[in-house]
Structure 1
Amino acid sequence: MIANADAAPRLESGLFGGRLPSEYLQTRLFDPGRVDGADIVLSVVHGSFFVSPFVAAGLIWWKRRSLFRQYALATAITFAFGLVGFVLLPTAPPWLSDPDDVTRITHHVLRDTAGVSLGGDDGGTVAREGFWFEPNHLAAVLLVLRSFGRGALAVGAVYAMAMSYSVVYLGEHFVIDAVLGWVVALAGWGIVPRWIAKRRSSMARTRTGMNRHHEGSVTSLFQKARASPTVPSRAASSPDP
């Protein structure tokens, strides 16, 4: 661990005039006494993080199998970066770092709609997150949907923006989580295509070199065969009796 868990809330408060964006949004839009439709929709969007990478993978495998390797590698890289961030740059989520001003709205939604408690509002649950979050896979989904046309890209963009907004409004992540998550994801998606292209180019050069070597060997053998003196057969060289 190289960063204090309170670094993110301090940095975010400093960037936004001493107030967390989660607190600002909840003060204006959230009613603790009543869960409305927007709270439920945004909670569903946030929860979809746990299934959307697999849905995207299945869709790519079905429709654009040539992109599957790129998707898998890029997703693996971004999640690996996220794991490093989780270990080295941990932070408490807004609802835990500032419990007097930020509410974990998903707790209210699940309690009021399904009778389920997350047990986090009273500080009974210890949470730790990294400086990265859902954009690790959102950028992957968005960039892959680009290959399905403008309509799919527009849907992906709306979903990505809704996810980024929901995690801040719900008190699950900081704005800097979202920004750094996008940076990490886009970096991963910038690395993979270049790596694949470089590897393919290297393999193509190797195959070309092998083909040239093979052709040179065959040509050399052919030339040696032509240059060798013809040995007369015994039947042709033996005198008649």
Structure 2
Amino acid sequence: MSWRTVSALAQVAYLAGLVIVTVMTGLPLERTQLFFWILLGLAVVSLRGWRSWGRMLLEWLPLLALLVVYDYLRGAASVPAGQAHVSPQIDVDRWLGGGQVPTVWLQHHLYDPSHLRWYDAGIWCTYLSHFFVIWIVAAVLWKVAHDRFGRYVSVVVLVTLMAFLTYWLYPAQPPWLAGELGEIPPVDKIVPTVWDRLGVPVAADLFETGDGLVNRVAAMPSLHAAYPAMLLLFFWTEGRWWRIGWSTYTLAMGFSLVYGGEHFVVDIVLGWLYAGIAFATVHVAWPAVRHARVRPGDSGDRAGQAEPAGAGAMRL
């Protein structure tokens, strides 16, 4: 039996197993489950290069450990809901919305709890993509553009840690919580509502609090907004269609979060800003510093090996 046949059979078995597990237990969106399926998929498509599996584990498992620790540490940023900041976000959003809070205005004009529309399902899909798109892209990079993988992961980790530090220093209410507490008119959480209506099972509760996947007062900045913006910057040099695609995704995620009651507009803007800072730090500042520290006698040799500052895109 040829390697091609073995690889094809293994990929079919992988997809069948993923479908069966998803149907039986729900979408595998919890970090450890998601990473298990990603690493298994990478192993399946790398059967002929099985010697790379060790490197794969060395490069992915520390990342998983860091993110699991991050998920649990977010509980340390939690404070009673009423003590979390909200007035500055409301003030900025009202200024941006011409006196209206954009979330309240959007839900008043577009949302009908008794009748879900196509765009309600659309924001559910967009919101859900946050939990796996960033890691699927990482897996593709690891497989087909491994020299970009390290920088990509560095940006993801940096923006995530920047967000965690902000959550700890500035716990902030999302719009739906501000509505519950009477700071603004009532706001619906549209994504969980759509989820309940569709009846799609999930193997992890994405709306847990404390040490779960979501912290009620970890709203500023929005990592949901930061990750798409990071992808847009990372693939910016790949061409117009890449920019159009990732720009559309970034804007769609921003709209989904504001309309869905998950984030204020200022949370989105700050998430984009954090993505820009993290990208610039990893792709511009650090290579520039290393280049400046090259000894004059070594500059000729190292210049040919150095990667251009800011070149973080995947070239296929």
Letter in 2 for 1:10: I
Range with greater deviation from structure 2 (193-202 or 162-171): 193-202
Deviation (angstroms), 1:154 = 1.4
Decide whether aligned partners of structure 1 residues 60 and 203 sit closer, same or farther in structure 2, where only a CA change above 3 A counts: farther
2-structure distance, mates of 1:203, 1:35:
58
Letter in 1 for 2:155: A
Corresponding residue for 1:86? 167
Decide whether aligned partners of structure 1 residues 14 and 158 sit closer, same or farther in structure 2, where only a CA change above 3 A counts: closer
Question: In the TM superposition, what whole-angstrom CA distance separates every residue of 1:201-220 from its partner, at most 9, and x where no partner exists?
Answer: 256428829x9xxxxxxxxx
1:113 and 2:225 aligned:
no
2-structure distance, mates of 1:13, 1:147:
32
1:49 and 2:130 aligned:
yes
SS of the aligned residue for 2:243 comes to helix
CA contact (8 A) 2:221 2:271 kept: yes
Corresponding residue for 2:221? 132
Decide whether aligned partners of structure 1 residues 109 and 207 sit closer, same or farther in structure 2, where only a CA change above 3 A counts: farther
Letter in 2 for 1:189: F
Letter in 2 for 1:110: W
Decide whether aligned partners of structure 1 residues 115 and 48 sit closer, same or farther in structure 2, where only a CA change above 3 A counts: closer
CA contact (8 A) 1:75 1:136 kept: no
Letter in 1 for 2:221: W
1:149 and 2:149 aligned:
no
1-structure distance, mates of 2:277, 2:208:
36
- Of all paired residues, the percent bearing the same amino acid is 24
Corresponding residue for 2:262? 172
Corresponding residue for 1:162? 252
CA contact (8 A) 1:6 1:91 kept: yes
Deviation (angstroms), 1:115 = 7.5
1-structure distance, mates of 2:259, 2:157:
28
TM value normalised by structure 2: 0.58
Question: In the TM superposition, what whole-angstrom CA distance separates every residue of 1:177-236 from its partner, at most 9, and x where no partner exists?
Answer: 000111111011111123331354256428829x9xxxxxxxxxxxxxxxxxxxxxxxxx
Q: Indicate the structure (1 or 2) with the bigger Cα radius of gyration.
A: 1
1:64 and 2:149 aligned:
no
Corresponding residue for 1:217? none
1-structure distance, mates of 2:146, 2:101:
43
Letter in 1 for 2:196: R
Corresponding residue for 1:104? 189
1:6 and 2:91 aligned:
no
CA contact (8 A) 2:94 2:102 kept: no
List gaps (5 residues or longer) in structure 2.
Answer: 1-76, 78-82, 302-316
Deviation (angstroms), 1:148 = 3.2
SS of the aligned residue for 1:98 comes to helix
1-structure distance, mates of 2:244, 2:287:
27
1:22 and 2:107 aligned:
no
CA contact (8 A) 2:236 2:242 kept: yes
How large is the Cα RMSD of the aligned pairs? 3.0
CA contact (8 A) 2:159 2:275 kept: yes
CA contact (8 A) 2:233 2:276 kept: no
Deviation (angstroms), 1:77 = 1.1
Decide whether aligned partners of structure 1 residues 27 and 195 sit closer, same or farther in structure 2, where only a CA change above 3 A counts: same
